[in-house]
Amino acid sequence: MTTPDLNLLLTLDALLTEGSVARAAERLHLSPSAMSRALARLRTTTGDPLLVRAGRGLVPTPRAIALREQVRQLVQDAQAVLRPAEHLDLRQLRRTFTLRTRDGFVETFGPALIQRLRREAPGVRLYFVPKLDKSSAPLRDGSVDLDTGVVADSASPELRTRQLFEDRFIGVVRSAHPLSQGPISAPAYAAGQHILVSRRGLAKGVLDEHLQAHGLARDIVTLVSDFGAALALARATDLIATVPESHTRHLHAGLHSFALPVPVPALKVSMIWHPRMDADPAHRWLRDCVRAVCAQVLEG
């Protein structure tokens, strides 16, 4: 089957609107002879004369009259598809965004983010889902609109990223814990009983590699899959939790926190999205909101 020349729709719309080869040619910036050739092709394609001479002018056939509104709508729809996106009206926006985050993000940044979205775009809904792994599949298939976290070296190069803030690991204990009194040495820190946070159930973490470089090893007595659980245990026991400071700001409120006595590289927390959402005005607005809210909360 031969693929139709869709440019003929523009020609047909001009001819049916103007009822004149000369005026249609002028409208499309063509010569009258070029428009006449295009009309001949339209007649061959549709199997209908479309416009026939009546005196000194042209009149449409019944088929042309039947096609007129349909062709006009097709051309208008095509033009709407191809023109740049119109200005985003946030007050009229109706959209649901899904954010995938690690525990602590919602508690720390969620309230301010929801308040901002409700203030600027009341019709927007925000769904938070847990980040159980670093797979980029949810971004590719559209089930997640925006991801947050540390960008892994193995992350897909097709993804777009923008850093939100830098974070650091800190130690957290209950307020009456022995480590809450005075300076903490690396040996004293390592000698305590620790909670290891690992989504994948690993027996050691990055911190243990840095302790090992100083000839030290932690006494890990329990393993949990998220920071919230680690801080809940630290709040009720003499166990030590090691968590990102800013990410879990509200989760470790009321507990004693301290800088780690061994140097550990900072965490660069970013937002991550699929490139197909790059130019989407509503998604771009959401990204701006997330970035602004993170900066506002951490400065406050």
Structural domain includes residue 2: no
| Residues 143 and 100 placed together within one structural domain of the fold | yes
CA distance 112 to 214: 41
CATH classification at residue 114: 3.40.190.10
CATH classification at residue 30: 1.10.10.10
Q: How many CB atoms lie within 10 A of CB 118?
A: 13
The whole-number average pLDDT for the span 167-195 is 92
> How high is the pLDDT of residue 154?
60
| Residues 75 and 102 placed together within one structural domain of the fold | no
Q: What does the DSSP assignment read for 23-92?
A: HHHHHTT--HHHHHHHHHHHHHHHTS--EEEETTEEEE-HHHHHHHHHHHHHHHHHHHHHSPPPPP-GGG
pLDDT tens-digit map of 230-244? 999 999 999 999 999
Structural domain includes residue 1: no
| Residues 103 and 215 placed together within one structural domain of the fold | no
| Residues 216 and 282 placed together within one structural domain of the fold | no
pLDDT tens-digit map of 21-54? 888 888 888 898 998 998 899 899 888 898 898 8
Q: Identify the CA nearest to 263 among candidates 169, 196, 129, 151.
A: 169
Give the domain extent around 193: 169-265
CA distance 299 to 297: 5
| Residues 249 and 176 placed together within one structural domain of the fold | yes
The whole-number average pLDDT for the span 211-225 is 92
| Residues 274 and 244 placed together within one structural domain of the fold | no
Whether 283 shows a pLDDT value over 80: the answer reads yes
| Residues 108 and 162 placed together within one structural domain of the fold | yes
Residue 107's identity, in one-letter code, is E
| Residues 67 and 185 placed together within one structural domain of the fold | no
| Residues 136 and 53 placed together within one structural domain of the fold | no
| Residues 51 and 179 placed together within one structural domain of the fold | no
Domain count, the chain: 3
pTM of the model: 0.71
* Domain C-terminal end among 82, 99, 122: 82
> How high is the pLDDT of residue 188?
93
